[in-house]
């Protein structure tokens, strides 16, 4: 469905207006997840979809790689319906337009990726304007049968643009950037509109939280400039597992929900898919039901006038981590009298004042303090991540302080460190990028991620991607230092940056080979 909008002067007001215009009243954001089973295994796939639905999933995405798999969707759908499981199904299609056209006759939605739907084999890296336009015309021609099939069957299309899987044509003109992602999506939207097809939903995802937020806001701005608005699906790709995956997802998805952006969400965890649902439900309960204004953030700004030079002489680099009470994990701490100390207990500032969240003066140190009561550690991680990420976009931030009355000072401080790590603002350990797995994955990614983390988590600031297959592999681990990618049954390929170093090695030697590769490049620390 097409949503026309009015133009506004500021992006912030535009984002909020669009979000509330689209969502309206108390209508919640829809929760989605994805199966990890082989699609040809009907019993396993149906069973997993039912478990997802029982956990609260409202839309299930299924890997579809071939015509045979697309045809299996009939049996999967009929089996589910016979058991009174009526949630919409989404076919996840890469590389093959014919598969998408077949799936569109069966399921409620088809997901395609502009980066590999048509011109994935075009290795050109330089395009004249005429060549660029010719490519667009070819895309329109190739996309037409899918649009006709979707019109006939009332099937929606999700245009899913991912950072790292942009076409060479887009990369040549815009680079692997937020602008490139937005332009890739807009091109497909315009082709659909020119062919009178409006049953669209858009997603622009990245494993980089800040880039994911920037891209979605820019995309909303572009849609408003063009005079239309389509629903948006939110997610941080390859978020990983455990608290890392939850905090990353909350920082990205929560930020945008607070801005009024987002209609469906998927929390991508490298765990059992049903584990994603409670996290998504919590984010929807917190930020997915909007009225006329976004939720209020309970935060204050700690202002330290004249303290910046004093802090800098202690060789501390912003963003600082401040604890309410002493903690060995923080840079600075506030005592019971609100006096600021260095971690060695030296007094840094005695005149500490608080203010509402607003822009700062140049000579001030501004620490965002988030105050909470009676939150479990798991809930604290989600709320603090979403709300700090939201505030970070509004005002200059030099530091973070989190207080929650029933968790320990060290726990509160660790949450601060984890949020900064998730947002790419400060690294206190290795960074892991890991996909949630799907039906294309041929190895146990959860087990491999655990083993890689056990051996490499001490490598502060090193980014390691553990990926399941070629679709989410070399391209979408775009900014990782090292890549560990499943390349077939019992096989792994290793990358340094985007360069393939070892191809299809046995998985039993993959971890030791990765460690050797890190050492050879001077990134190993003891």
CATH of the domain at 442: 3.30.413.10
Query: Residues 226, 229, 232, 237: what is their CA dihedral angle, to the nearest 10 degrees?
Result: 0
Tell me: pLDDT of 383 over 90: yes
Q: Where are the alpha helices (DSSP H) in 467-508?
A: none
Q: What percent of the chain has pLDDT over 90?
A: 60
Distance CA 266, CA 436 (A): 11
Query: What pLDDT sits at residue 467?
Result: 86
Q: How many residues are listed for the chain in this entry?
A: 526
The CATH number for 274's domain is 3.20.20.20
Residue 293 resides in a domain:
no
User: Which residues sit opposite 342 in a β-bridge?
Assistant: 332
Reported as half-sphere exposure (CB side, CA atoms, 13 A), residue 147 has a value of: 20
Separation between Cα atoms, residue 375 and residue 380, nearest integer Å: 6
- Residue 139: inside a domain: yes
Q: Rounded distance, CA 526 to CA 517, Å?
A: 15
**pLDDT value at position 90?**
96
Q: Please state, in angstroms and rounded to a whole number, the distance separating the CA atoms of residues 396 and 394.
A: 7
pLDDT at 19 > cutoff 70: no
Total tally of structural domains belonging to the chain? 3
pLDDT score recorded for residue 318: 86
Instruction: Flag whether pLDDT at 92 surpasses 80.
Output: yes
Reported as a single tens digit per residue, the pLDDT across 328-347 is 999 999 998 888 899 889 88
Of 352, 368, 359, 365, residue with least CA distance to 298: 368
Distance CA 232, CA 234 (A): 6
Q: Is residue 4 part of a domain?
A: no
**pLDDT reported for residue 17:** 35
User: 147 and 60: one domain?
Assistant: yes
Angle, helix 178-194 to helix 129-153, in steps of 10 degrees: 60
pTM: 0.90
Boundary residue ending a domain (253, 287, 321): 287
Residues 180 and 226 in one domain: yes
Dist. CA 396–CA 439, nearest whole Å? 43
Q: Which of 191, 47, 44, 171 lies closest to 112, judged by CA? A: 191
87 pLDDT band (50/70/90 cuts)? Answer: very high
Angle at 129 between CA 128 and CA 131, to 5 degrees: 65
Look at residue 115 in the predicted model and tell me its pLDDT.
Answer: 79
Q: Are residues 303 and 279 in the same domain?
A: no
More confident residue, 361 or 465: 465
Q: How far is CA 69 from CA 102, 132, 278, 336, 442, in A?
A: 10, 33, 29, 63, 16
Instruction: Give CA–CA dist 505/490, Å, rounded.
Output: 8
As a whole number of angstroms, the distance between CA 20 and CA 6 comes to: 13
Determine the pLDDT at residue 459. 93
Q: Taking residues 122-142, what's their average pLDDT?
A: 83
Across 287-310, average pLDDT: 68
Q: Which of 65, 72, 75, 76 is nearest to 99 (CA)?
A: 65
Q: How far apart are CA 84 and CA 79, in angstroms?
A: 9
Same domain flag for 327 and 348? yes
What is the chain's mean pLDDT, rounded?
A: 86
Q: What is the number of other CB atoms lying within 10 angstroms of the CB of residue 255?
A: 29
Domain end, chosen from 366, 391, 422, is at: 422
Helix, strand or coil, per DSSP, at residue 370: strand
Q: How far apart are CA 403 and CA 422, in angstroms?
A: 19
What CA–CA distance (Å, rounded) separates 330 from 208? 25
* Candidate from 4-13, 54-63, 111-120, 450-459 with smallest mean pLDDT: 4-13
In a domain, 1, yes or no: no
The bridge status of strand 89-92 relative to strand 59-63 is: parallel
In-domain check, residue 5: no
Separation between Cα atoms, residue 16 and residue 2, nearest integer Å: 18
Residues 418 and 437 in one domain: no
Residues ≥6 apart with Cβ < 8 Å to 313: none
Nearest to 451 by CA among 403, 423, 484: 484
Please write the tens of the pLDDT for every residue from 446-466: 889 999 999 999 999 899 989
2 belongs to a structural domain:
no
| Tens digit of each residue's pLDDT (9 = 90 or more) over 384-400 | 999 999 999 988 888 99
472-514 pLDDT, tens per residue?
556 667 678 999 998 878 889 999 988 899 999 999 999 999 9
For 408-430, what is the mean pLDDT?
Answer: 96
- Distance between CA 504 and CA 487 in Å, rounded? 6
| Whether the predicted pLDDT of 39 surpasses 60 | yes
Q: What are the backbone dihedrals phi and psi of residue 511, each rounded to the nearest 5 degrees, phi first?
A: -70, -45
Q: What is the four-CA torsion angle of 49, 52, 53, 56, rounded to 10 degrees?
A: -160
478 with 361, same domain: the answer is: no
Where is the domain boundary, 231, 266, 287?
287
> Residue 223 belongs to what domain range?
11-287
Asked if residue 305 and residue 337 are part of one domain, the reply reads yes
Query: Residues 186, 138: contact at Cβ < 8 Å?
Result: no
What is the reported pLDDT for 471?
Answer: 59
**What is the pLDDT confidence band of residue 358, given thresholds at 50, 70 and 90?**
low
Say how far apart CA 169 and CA 423 lie, in whole Å: 29
Residue pair 465/433 in contact (Cβ under 8 Å)? The answer is yes
Give the model's confidence band at 12: pLDDT under 50 very low, under 70 low, under 90 confident, else very high: very low
Instruction: Note the pLDDT tens digit of each residue in 228-250.
Output: 989 999 999 888 889 999 999 99
Same-domain pairing of 265 and 309:
no
Same domain for 152 and 30: yes
Asked if 409 and 460 sit in the same domain, the reply is no
Contact (Cβ atoms closer than 8 angstroms) between residue 464 and residue 480:
yes
Distance from C-alpha of 261 to C-alpha of 17, rounded to nearest angstrom: 9
Q: What is the 3-state secondary structure (H, E, C) of 415-468?
A: HHHHHHHHCCCCCCCCEEEECCCCCCCCCCHHHHHHHHHHHHCCCCCCEEEEEC
Instruction: Report the pLDDT averaged over residues 408-428.
Output: 96
Which one, of 141, 158, 152, 156, lies nearest residue 195 by Cα?
A: 141
Cα(54)–Cα(371) distance, rounded to whole angstroms? Answer: 34
Q: Please compute the mean of the pLDDT values over residues 407-417 and round it to a whole number.
A: 97
Residues 195 and 281 in one domain: yes
Q: Is 487 among the domain residues?
A: yes
How far apart CA 228 and CA 225 sit, in angstroms, is 8
In the predicted structure, residue 186 carries a pLDDT above the cut 70: yes
Q: How far is CA 153 from CA 32, 107, 148, in A?
A: 22, 9, 9
pLDDT at 309 over 80: no
What pLDDT sits at residue 209?
96
Same domain, 406 and 470: no
Residue 525 lies in a domain: no
């Amino acid at each position: 469905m097409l949503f026309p909008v009015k133009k506004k002067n500021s992006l912030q007001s535009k984002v909020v207006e669009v979000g509330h215009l689209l969502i309206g009243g108390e209508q919640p954001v829809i929760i989605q997840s994805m199966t990890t089973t082989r699609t040809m295994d009907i019993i396993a796939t149906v069973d997993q979809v039912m478990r997802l639905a029982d956990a609260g999933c409202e839309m299930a995405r299924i890997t579809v790689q071939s015509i045979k798999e697309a045809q299996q969707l009939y049996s999967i759908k009929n089996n589910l319906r016979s058991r009174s499981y009526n949630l919409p199904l989404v076919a996840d299609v890469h590389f093959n337009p014919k598969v998408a056209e077949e799936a569109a006759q069966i399921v409620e939605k088809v997901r395609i990726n502009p980066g590999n739907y048509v011109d994935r084999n075009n290795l050109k890296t330089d395009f004249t304007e005429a060549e660029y336009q010719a490519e667009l015309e070819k895309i329109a021609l190739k996309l037409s049968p899918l649009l006709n099939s979707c019109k006939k069957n009332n099937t929606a299309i999700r245009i899913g643009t991912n950072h790292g899987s942009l076409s060479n044509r887009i990369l040549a003109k815009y680079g692997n950037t937020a602008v490139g992602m937005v332009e890739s999506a807009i091109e497909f939207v315009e082709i659909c509109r020119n062919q009178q097809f409006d049953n669209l939903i858009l997603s622009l995802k990245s494993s980089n939280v800040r880039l994911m937020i920037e891209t979605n806001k820019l995309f909303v701005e572009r849609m408003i400039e063009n005079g239309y608005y389509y629903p948006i699906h939110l997610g941080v790709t390859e978020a990983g597992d455990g608290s890392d995956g939850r905090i990353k997802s909350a920082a990205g998805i929560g930020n945008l929900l607070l801005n009024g952006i987002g209609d469906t969400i998927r929390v991508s965890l490298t765990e059992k898919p049903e584990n994603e649902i409670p996290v998504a439900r919590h984010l929807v309960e917190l930020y997915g039901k909007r009225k006329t204004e976004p939720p209020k953030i309970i935060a204050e700004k700690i202002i330290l006038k004249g303290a910046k030079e004093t802090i800098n002489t202690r060789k501390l680099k912003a963003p600082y981590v401040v604890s309410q009470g002493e903690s060995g994990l923080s840079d600075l701490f506030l005592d019971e009298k609100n006096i600021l100390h260095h971690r060695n207990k030296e007094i840094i500032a005695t005149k500490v004042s608080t203010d509402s969240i607003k822009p700062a003066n140049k000579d001030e140190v501004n620490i965002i303090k988030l105050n909470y009561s009676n939150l479990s550690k798991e809930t604290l991680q989600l709320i603090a991540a979403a709300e700090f990420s939201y505030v970070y976009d509004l005002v200059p931030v030099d530091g973070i302080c989190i207080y929650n009355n029933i968790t320990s000072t060290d726990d509160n401080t660790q949450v601060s460190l984890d949020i900064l790590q998730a947002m790419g603002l400060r690294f206190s350990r290795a960074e892991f990028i890991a996909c949630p797995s799907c039906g294309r994955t041929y190895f146990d990614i959860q087990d491999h991620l655990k083993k890689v983390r056990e051996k490499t988590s001490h490598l502060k600031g090193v980014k390691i991607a553990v990926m399941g297959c070629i679709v989410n592999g070399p391209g979408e681990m775009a900014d990782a230092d090292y890549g560990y990618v499943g390349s077939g049954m019992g096989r792994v390929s290793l990358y340094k940056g985007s360069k393939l170093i070892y191809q299809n090695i046995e998985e039993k030697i993959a971890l030791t080979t990765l460690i050797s590769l890190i050492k050879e490049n001077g990134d190993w620390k003891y």
